[in-house]
Chain A
Amino acid sequence: MGPMASPSFEVGRPTDLDHTLSRLLEKSIRRSTALDLESLCIVTAQRVWSLRADLHFLSHDGNLIDTACIATITALAHFRLPVITVSGEDITIHPVTERVPVPLSLLHWPICVTFSFLGEDDDGEMVCVVDATAQEEALREGDMTVTVNKNGEVCQISKSGGVPVEAETLMKCARMAAEKVKGIDKLIAAALRDDEVVRNKGNLDWLKEGKSENER
């Protein structure tokens, strides 16, 4: 998170938001076992793939958590792992030109939905806002992040502090999150599908390019 996203971020000094974000993503994606870690194993108890997701925030206008989560999930779903063959002691990593790389085995797509509580209205009803802008975030009195997948499984909930909220409102939020996630899930799927088309086409182009380079 650099000053590029928002002038309030300083270089080299992790803020509370940093910690919350990385913990939330870790809880949402790793602890909910979204990624089948066993599939990343090359030789049992010896060699494994190591995956690393780097997030760069280019512009901050609120709701970093949800955006970061969607970005990570999409990236993981989009990622292709080179194929390997193990024969005895030898491990061969096939270059992408040789064999078509395989996608990661993502068991489900956990997606974060953050609610911002803007205080109670005149009827004592809590005003909740989904996908808050930076301005709304500055005004909010509390927030809650719910991570759900499209099957309606809640992977993580976190509401630390902020204004006290009725349990019923929270449940309403959770159910709403489950609905929203279905939509987001479809969006990601569509984007990936579109990309697949381009990629398949592009992949060939790229292969050709690679070959011509070799010939040179």
Chain B
Amino acid sequence: MPIQIISPAPFVTAADDYDEEHEGGVRLDFDNDGDVLMDEAPRRAGGQAGGIVTPGEVVTDDPQWMRGHGTYLSPATSGQSIISSLAGTISKTNKLLSIRALKFRYIPEIGDLVVGRILEVQTKRWRVDIAAPHSATLLLSSINLPGGILRKRTSTDELQIRTFFSEGDLLVAEVQTLSNDGLASLHTRSLKYGKLRNGVFMTIDAGMVRRMKSHVLTLPTSNGGGDVDIYLGVNGYIYIAKHTTPLTESTTEGKSVSITRLEEEASEAIYSNVNEEISPETRGEIARIACVIAALAKGGVKVDEEMVELGYEAALEEFLQGVEWGGDGEAGKRVVAAALAKRRLS
């Protein structure tokens, strides 16, 4: 990604007048000619435009508030005032005052759907990168073993651990438990979860994925692309793949008669590393969706089901006008703007 360098700010010049210097006190007066804001307004939260606090800013002196995330107590005033340690917005829950940073690493929570990548294979477990401060663990006992859900884990499975997931494999999983210090443990004990293939992997900032009821979307695409599955990991990892029928069928229909047989068949394919044949049309649409998501995230718009659909529509319209597009630059901004306009209409 190229480095963005915007045009330089106007020059800041020094004013002529200054006081005779005294011990420890040199006055520096600067003209304010243009964009560089120099107003030294009393640094108090709330009164600031945009509602943003920055590190070191006193959020409140009021002792009734409790200190939450992103803040610390000032040692100078013996813990009276709450000071921000992040640049972000204030959020108040009852008496708890916390700061939400504009951008932050993913902090796992139980029940989150995440997309991850296997970092390391250990005995009986995998270490999975989920873009969090610590890598998550996936125990051999919390995956679906081939041959039906209820099969007992054997020592052969332990020896064959690499045949399920090996280093570099992508998977979709759910955060099962969290330890005291925030270490996540994952599970893939559902046919919705498991190894990912037949598609592309991309990352956006973790905060850019809106938490939804379902993070797996199936989008019917045009141009002969067929259906495309989108796994919107809460951790900002996203996988976009060709829609695969048997897996989702069995989970959505749940109680079909042939479920066991279906699952057996499915489970054979579950840990396959071979991609299916994907038509150029599907590839094109997958790429387009990836571009839409990248453009949305870049434009600062939270990614959710609605925005992906609207963005995709907008991108199609842009495409019909004969514009080449790589998800970046002006066209990207246009698509995002069009998608936002559509949302306002609906």
Contacts and interface: CB of A to CB of B under 8 A. Distances in A.
A213 interface: no
A108 B198 CA distance: 74
B24 interface: yes
Interface in B49-79: 76
Contacts of A124: 76
**Interface SS of chain B:** loop
Interface residues of B, number: 2
Interface residues of A, number: 3
Interface in A165-193: 167-168
Contacts of A167: 24
Contacts of B24: 167-168
Contacts of B76: 124
Nearest to A168: B24
Interface in B69-91: 76
A168 B76 CA distance: 17
Interface string B139-183: 000000000000000000000000000000000000000000000
Interface string A96-113: 000000000000000000
A168 B25 CA distance: 12
A179 B24 CA distance: 22
A168 B23 CA distance: 10
A171 B135 CA distance: 47
A124 B24 CA distance: 19
A215 to B, nearest CB: 72
Nearest to B75: A120
Nearest to A124: B76
A124 B77 CA distance: 11
B27 to A, nearest CB: 16
Interface in A155-172: 167-168
Interface string A116-132: 00000000100000000
Nearest to A167: B24
B179 to A, nearest CB: 31
B206 to A, nearest CB: 30
A168 B24 CA distance: 8
A167 B76 CA distance: 17
B81 to A, nearest CB: 16
Interface in B1-37: 24
Interface in B189-218: none
Nearest to B76: A124
Nearest to A171: B24
A196 to B, nearest CB: 44
3 contacts: A124-B76, A167-B24, A168-B24
For the complex of A and B, the 3 pairs showing the least CB-CB separation, nearest first, are A167-B24, A168-B24, A124-B76
